[in-house]
Structure 1
């Protein structure tokens, strides 16, 4: 077999233009590094055959794409390679080997810092072999490179693809919306609207709003509902619930989009640099740099903050984003306030990260941004001494029967799955101090009333609740007082505050309705 470096030399003598895209010295350096690691000449030649075919087709492009390796059909390249170097129908090991070699070479080029390479295209084409769940040779495709392809051609193709993708996305979101408009989810829609509006939305004002204002309201509501709201029965987000229940009925493209939507994360961004096609932002809450396509929002964004859901993996790069004017001082006040809210949240979820907080309490964050940016409000959180978190020492299994009964009753009343978890935490904290009294009918009933009291939920109309477990109003109230004292509970106690409770707490401070 001929020496691999002789093969490289012969190719570059015949295809000098390839140097514009990948210099011969770069290829030889890559192969020598592999040789030093003990790989044989035969193995290096296989590397070269993969690289050679790649260079043969890539050099047909315009010089403007010399360092931009995107829009490459690796599936077609594999079939070209297989025709020339595999003397049988390709097997799984052939495909895996080819894509592994190409990944190693492209990663090497990318690590030089001189290339912009979309490795995701390589991974996506490899996935085509496993589209049925196991290895299967996909339909043969041919390389259809356009001679002299330019960066302008690619940008135009991307624009058209993005338009088509937006149509697919809007169609999918419409179908998801229709799915949740059925009677089974009406309680969830109502609860979500209450949390999203803070229970303060003026329906008369809505009726007199313009069509554009109404459309904006619903766009923002559905963005919250799909990504941030948690269903009463399952505690899933609607996007996750829809994906779980409808996956088998979704097309391949819909599954790709759903996967990207599930990876979306809520972010609060300060714009640091603005360009025609993109913006550079600082994630205020995570202290990270984020680069996004320029949102379709009129006016300069240099003195604005953006908030909403971003996807930095996969096809979807930007979801519904809201921009509001914000000075540096306001940006800092918003960031500092949300950090304080995060600390309150960690009193009930001690190991929670900022991502955990935003996944659970995005509604609180949205309301915080709204209040601090639109009202003459310096603070939205109560200033008071808080009780210390109680280390868990009791084994929950000791109270398994009581916890089960508590969840059944709370579920019948309509408390969400997450509220039931917090209610059980409240019960267990008290059980640690007085297990004998905790395991009584009046204490179980008092737990529900105390949780409701902390979250400013009125259960007084449900008078029969006092008697469900065989107790009465007097003994339940006495048990409630004992629990409140033992746990040193305060109004809107963050240890047991649900999603609705956090939002209610904020507006109680804003409107001066709470006595702290």
Structure 2
């Protein structure tokens, strides 16, 4: 048993980000219970392999909770377990044991998990049992896992990737996805640019390449907070052949990276991550790179450190400018940590890619020394508050109506935090705290703090069955109680980050 505990300890030392996904204490609690029930060392070893791989998968895939996992993710989990450990059992009994272990682990690690999580787990169990032959790594998939790819392999991957990206773009041009597309375009462009204003076909083509790369990998859907690529995969994976499924699954493991070229050899390019200083050996580009030491690149890197075959952007940047860009993005990260103190850089990038891209664009195109404003809240962020059960109904109403207004999942979480902070600090009666005008005021505070225009004030009042007069009265009380400022870091969303950048730019122009 000491071996299992030491393995858990070593894993958490090597992967400090795992603590935010599942606390080490919960994992050890699970194995103490297993030991109490006289589980064998072999069984616990297999379970730890599964759990550690699950934590890695969630981290690499950019998920933010176990609730984001779909049945296909559990298929991939078992596939990777067999790929890494050839003795990992995938017969019927082995699959049943794996899902029993996951169920019991969730009950300990996620005591407040909703029933839907276990329903998805049951669906995944049945799916994996029905498709267990597909969970074994196949000879024909070598092009996806080998380091040395032939020209034919690369051409095949490019062909499949192009076809998949076309399918995804067609999928999201459906009318039901227009609100997400419009929201993503506005976020990607910022308040001062429109795609139709581009003056050449080449610029338009480059814009749409870059936009789709952002949309698929980094944008988060209004309804469920999934990235579009993951949402597409969940809905369409049964229509894909095995290789296409693997290509998309590998794409979903990529992470947004900003890097620069250190040197160019005869067969490869040595690059370095701007923030971690991690070195990456990449293939030679198709076109020669002139003045490579004065270029900054960004795009999506595979978790295995092989360059994805999708869109990589480059901008001119001297060593001094690279350093300034790094400082500005670091300032953004510091602001983000007012709201999420435990966040890593990867989590910040995953949540604020568009804001980071705007920093790069402004710094390289307008020769600005500083673009990120100095933001500090008047009060420190208080500990998260779980409201009593008798607030469940107003919180559900707040969630439902915010979604009806087209407000995204992360933003809805911030609004819930505003509401909870006000409930804790206000001396109003319980009845007033639960009333529609108070709930509507929480949404309005969020919009004001993030400088987001509300074009549907009538709809807001109608949804919460209140009046503009009551709303304004409650709004004043809430702004005072929370001591909010414009772009308050405690309640800042990605759109707020973007709006703050351009407001800072306008301020500097006026000066």
TM-score (norm 1): 0.67
What is the CA distance between 1:342 and its match in structure 2? Answer: 0.9
Which of 190, 210, 214 in structure 1 is aligned with 2:204?
214
CA distance in 1, matches of 2:287, 2:498: 28
Counterpart residue number, 1:446? 441
Change (3 A) 1:204 1:163: closer
Q: Which residue of structure 2 lines up, in the alignment, with residue 386 of structure 1?
A: 377
Deviation string 1:344-398 (CA, Å, 9 cap, x unpaired) is 1122222211111111101111111010111021111222542311222443634
Q: Which residue of the other structure, out of 215, 237, 251, is the alignment partner of 1:261?
A: 251
Distance 1:397 1:135 in 2: 45
Map of 1:322 onto structure 2: 313
TM-fit CA distance, 1:405: 0.9
Q: For residues 410-439 of structure 1, give each alpha carbon's deviation from its aligned partner in whole angstroms, at most 9, with x where no partner exists.
A: 111111122111111111111111263532
Instruction: Indicate how the Cα distance of structure 1 residues 186 and 461 shifts in structure 2: closer, same or farther if over 3 A, else same.
Output: closer
Q: Distance in 1 between matches of 2:270 and 2:435?
A: 58
1:467: Cα distance to partner?
A: 4.8
1:498 to 493, 496, 499: 493
Q: How does 1:280-295 map to 2 (within 5 A)?
A: 280-295=270-285
* Secondary structure, counterpart of 1:319 in structure 2: coil
Contact 2:221 2:408 in 1 (8 A): yes
Would you say the 8 A contact 2:293–2:318 is kept in 1? Answer: no
Give the C-alpha shift of residue 465 in structure 1.
Answer: 2.5
CA, structure 1 residues 204+441, in 2 after alignment: closer, same or farther (shift >3 Å)? closer
Cα 1:200/1:296, change in 2 over 3 Å: farther
- Any conservation in 2 of the 1:311–1:318 contact (CA below 8 Å)? no
- Which residue, out of 502, 509, 512, partners 2:507? 512
Alignment of 1:216-231 (within 5 A): 216-231=206-221
SS class of match (2:312) = strand
- Match for residue 242 of structure 1? 232
> RCO greater where, 1 or 2, for CA within 8 Å and sep 6 or more?
2
Q: Report the counterpart of residue 420 of structure 1 in structure 2.
A: 412
Task: Report SS of the residue matched to 1:512.
Answer: helix
How many residues were matched structurally?
Answer: 378
Distance 1:312 1:241 in 2: 20
Contact 1:286–1:354 (CA under 8 A) maintained in structure 2: no
Moved more, 293-302 or 169-178: 293-302
User: 1:482: how far off?
Assistant: 1.5
1:124-168 deviation line (CA, Å, top 9, x unaligned): xxxxxx994249999999xxxxxxxxxxxx97x712210121011
Whether contact under 8 Å (1:310, 1:317) holds in the other structure is yes
Look up the SS of the partner of 1:305 in the other structure.
strand
What's the secondary structure of 2:338's corresponding residue? coil
Find 1:486's aligned residue among 477, 481, 487: 481
Cα gap change, 1:274 to 1:474, in 2 (>3 Å): same
Distance 2:425 2:434 in 1: 12
Cα deviation code 1:4-24 (max 9, x no counterpart):
xxxxxxxxxxxxxxxxxxxxx
| 1:443, distance to aligned residue in structure 2 (A) | 1.2
Distance in 2 between residues matched to 1:264 and 1:352, nearest whole Å: 18
CA contact (8 A) 1:292 1:317 kept: no
For 1:332-352, what per-residue CA distance to the aligned partner results, in whole angstroms no more than 9, with x for missing partners?
Answer: 111111111111112222221
Distance 1:396 1:336 in 2: 42
Alpha-carbon separation, structure 2, partners of 1:316 and 1:471: 53
Deviations 1:53-79 (A, max 9, x none): xxxxxxxxxxxxxxxxxxxxxxxxxxx
1:370 equivalent to 2:361? Answer yes
Q: Would you say the 8 A contact 1:347–1:495 is kept in 2? A: yes
Unpaired stretches in structure 2, ≥5 consecutive residues: 1-81, 89-128, 141-146
Instruction: Please report how far the alpha carbon of residue 408 of structure 1 lies from its aligned counterpart in structure 2 after TM superposition.
Output: 1.4
1:19-30 alignment runs, 5 A limit: none
Name the CA shift for 1:329/1:295 in 2 (closer, same or farther; >3 Å). same
**CA separation in 2, counterparts of 1:267 and 1:401?**
41
Q: TM-score, normalised by structure 2?
A: 0.68
* CA positional deviation for 1:200: 2.0
Q: Is the 8 A contact 1:455 1:497 kept in 2?
A: yes
SS of the residue 2:310 aligns to:
strand
Q: 2-side partners of 1:166 and 1:226: how far apart?
A: 17
Greater per-residue helix proportion: 2
The 3 A distance-change label for structure 1 pair 159 and 371 is: same
1:29-428 aligned at under 5 Å gives the runs 96=86, 132-134=131-133, 158-203=150-195, 205-206=197-198, 208-209=199-200, 211-300=201-290, 301-313=292-304, 317-387=308-378, 388-395=380-387, 397-428=389-420
Task: State the shift of 1:248 in Å.
Answer: 1.1
**How far apart are residue 442 of structure 1 and its match?**
2.0
Question: Quick check: 2:225–2:410 contact (8 Å CA) kept in 1?
Answer: yes
